Structure 1
């Protein structure tokens, strides 16, 4: 048996939240040897969104060390040496398979035991696989999922090997849209398949989606809606050759990428800590039902003050901010002080081709579409307001300037009263600029 290691603070998980938490610990003052990060990945924490964007570009592709945290929010990159300098132990390629929260003990796959005084759970999400639904042939070669850098490396190899080949993207959410764009830029023949009536249905209205679907079609991407992949054919090498759809069609494929969502990785903690809405229940400081256990990023279900509601948010922005909040709260509590409650404004963004959108707030209530959403437009710029109980609660904007994006964030936080939907459609973006 390996000897047990003991730390004041342990972060389990090595993604965005872990990296931002480590930086906040260093800012707050840390003694060498107090903090360990235990990650099943082989590399230091990095900005995960790079994998579905810049990592796959044929030219000027993003590579490490270029996108280690905290470069994604304009901070300096934390290279592996940074952790050493700060006396933080970065324990990589180590998967925790057992957590005993009562005994404050974690055990790795190799039997190594780790003790902690305070635990931060930053395990993030795992991808949902087609084999989870028993889809035939889903274990064929060249069917890819994207979650970790290792996945991205395999995909980059496949794109090179199948030059100018056919790619099928299963799923019409974030990953589907970003990867379809990246594959098209690599000159593959791309089809996107999803069951919903339009893309990104959890956020986009039909009006917003119509623009992106039109834009993608103009880029030569074939969009197939209202059906799902039910099976795959393979060649003698075990590589995928066809995707069988529920509606009876088949699509030729050299590469298949599946982006059908994720699940928070919380099974280690089942029955030991309170859960809610698929995550670990926390307070406004990310403390769970156990006093020395905190949960940050995708796995936390927390009070969303602005809407007087409890939610779980899967997004890099919240991963960064929740990590900083938890560490500030932990350090303040040690000194008998407190920090303000987390007051998060939901924020999502994406970039594909020459497009760039941002969304702030809540997408509930009635909607108003404004601006130029013609997919053929040389510089499209349009948006949508969400109005509930006479107040503007959410706003989406494609093609905004930095100032305009700041204005829509301010508006979503302020939730101004609006007399009528007509006012919004007439004023368009200028309504936001007045706030």
Structure 2
């Protein structure tokens, strides 16, 4: 059995892997020391582009590689395949690891190759939940799509081109489903969203926030069916999907079906070897697992969230980038006998659809107060919401904010200032955050609020 050895191995080829590779280069990794092992066929890329730019119609900022290889999402140098070669980093692509033994520090591929390592970074990301795994009748029909990698995005893109002006059904009301619905609508498909929850994106959105986006989507011609689920599919004789069957008895005609009903962290290789917590591989403030020289980053890592003093697992590109950098810095600090600051992550989520762009920082717990103009027909789309817990502002959402305003809400979520009365918070709106940030004469310096050349923690 063939065997290759590396000082460092990154298992997985997604966003985290690319940003980890960049930090390895910054730390002075030597040629031949680092390998990235990935089942994908291309170098790490910004996965967030798949539900947005990759599916855009021609002439509407459609994105294709190499434009969104990492680190395009942070506004840094794009790491093309040649970059890895120049740095002496081995890209081992189209390789699926089927066995991992952390005791012997060995990974085994489906082809029987053995990869030995001194230090392992697990960056395996998440795997989408598939309706076929739930036993739904007809779920293997053609033109039923999921979106996790670039190959799946390309399949959807080709189906869009083949089914122009056709009917699309999006199953799910979460992050990916909302973004895919917008992209399909931009391609002039007749789009219907179906989800069981009372409003879209309930893990983050309140009813007030969701009402804006649902109203805006309806104004774009997207139909929304809530409170029911798909229970099966009917297909044409050629195998392509024909109808989506709903639990409420309706049958929706469909030329394309996109499914976004969630994902699970890809941790099965390490069952019984690494400790897990809240659904992911348990790590400490330096992304270290319970086994020496094994780290976990991105979707698969459960980490101590210092600002809230609890354990979380975050599925978002921002955490993928930051945790990757933290782990690599921790690896080198350990080797050099030095220390680094603990991982101090401020939860951050964002999305862009149509001409909308929102950001959220902090924690969505406690009472809420909506401010601005949340009318879906508003010409500015400018509105937001504060979350107030135990008298402090702990989370802020803002649609269509400026760079200055986005910096301000990030700072508010970090410092958690005392809230005013609900009426006054609603009245002041974004000016409350601007005042805290110093743009209105108040200045607060916060240790650990990382900024880049763009002024933001990372450029969306």
Alpha-carbon distance in 2 for matches of 1:408, 1:241: 46
Q: Which residue of 2 aligns with 1:4?
A: 3
Do residues 58 (structure 1) and 57 (structure 2) align? yes
Alpha-carbon distance in 2 for matches of 1:50, 1:243: 27
| 1:280-309 deviation line (CA, Å, top 9, x unaligned) | 000000000001100000000000000000
Q: Which residue of 1 aligns with 2:387?
A: 386
Q: How many residues align?
A: 434
Moved more, 416-425 or 168-177: 416-425
Q: Which residue of 1 aligns with 2:273?
A: 272
Alpha-carbon distance in 2 for matches of 1:380, 1:185: 19
Alpha-carbon distance in 2 for matches of 1:66, 1:428: 37
Secondary structure of 1:434 counterpart: helix
Q: Which residue of 1 aligns with 2:77?
A: 76
Do residues 396 (structure 1) and 393 (structure 2) align? no
| 1:54-100 deviation line (CA, Å, top 9, x unaligned) | 00111241000000000111111000000000000000000000000
Q: Which residue of 2 aligns with 1:37?
A: 36
Alpha-carbon distance in 2 for matches of 1:376, 1:83: 48
Alpha-carbon distance in 2 for matches of 1:162, 1:71: 31
Alpha-carbon distance in 2 for matches of 1:419, 1:32: 56
Q: Which residue of 2 aligns with 1:16?
A: 15
**1:41, distance to aligned residue in structure 2 (A):** 0.2
Alpha-carbon distance in 1 for matches of 2:397, 2:102: 41
* Uncovered stretches (5+) of structure 2, i.e. residues with no partner: 437-460
Q: Which residue of 1 aligns with 2:424?
A: 423
Secondary structure of 2:111 counterpart: coil
**1:379, distance to aligned residue in structure 2 (A):** 1.2
Secondary structure of 1:140 counterpart: coil
**1:121, distance to aligned residue in structure 2 (A):** 0.1
Q: Which residue of 2 aligns with 1:335?
A: 336
Alpha-carbon distance in 2 for matches of 1:284, 1:108: 30
Q: State TM-score, norm by structure 1.
A: 0.99
Alpha-carbon distance in 1 for matches of 2:252, 2:239: 17
Query: Superposition pairs for residues 14-163 of structure 1, below 5 Å?
Result: 14-59=13-58, 60-163=61-164
Alpha-carbon distance in 2 for matches of 1:376, 1:303: 41
Runs of 4+ displaced beyond 4 Å: none
Alpha-carbon distance in 2 for matches of 1:341, 1:72: 24
Alpha-carbon distance in 2 for matches of 1:13, 1:355: 32
**1:134, distance to aligned residue in structure 2 (A):** 1.2
**1:419, distance to aligned residue in structure 2 (A):** 3.5
| 1:347-379 deviation line (CA, Å, top 9, x unaligned) | 000000000000000000000000001111111
Query: Superposition pairs for residues 270-349 of structure 1, below 5 Å?
Result: 270-349=271-350
**1:31, distance to aligned residue in structure 2 (A):** 1.0
Alpha-carbon distance in 2 for matches of 1:365, 1:184: 35
**1:131, distance to aligned residue in structure 2 (A):** 1.4
| 1:118-156 deviation line (CA, Å, top 9, x unaligned) | 000000000000112211111100000000000011111
Alpha-carbon distance in 1 for matches of 2:40, 2:46: 13
Query: Superposition pairs for residues 206-285 of structure 1, below 5 Å?
Result: 206-285=207-286
* Uncovered stretches (5+) of structure 1, i.e. residues with no partner: none
Q: Which residue of 1 aligns with 2:195?
A: 194
| 1:242-295 deviation line (CA, Å, top 9, x unaligned) | 000001111000000000011000000000011101100000000000011000
| RMSD after superposition | 0.6
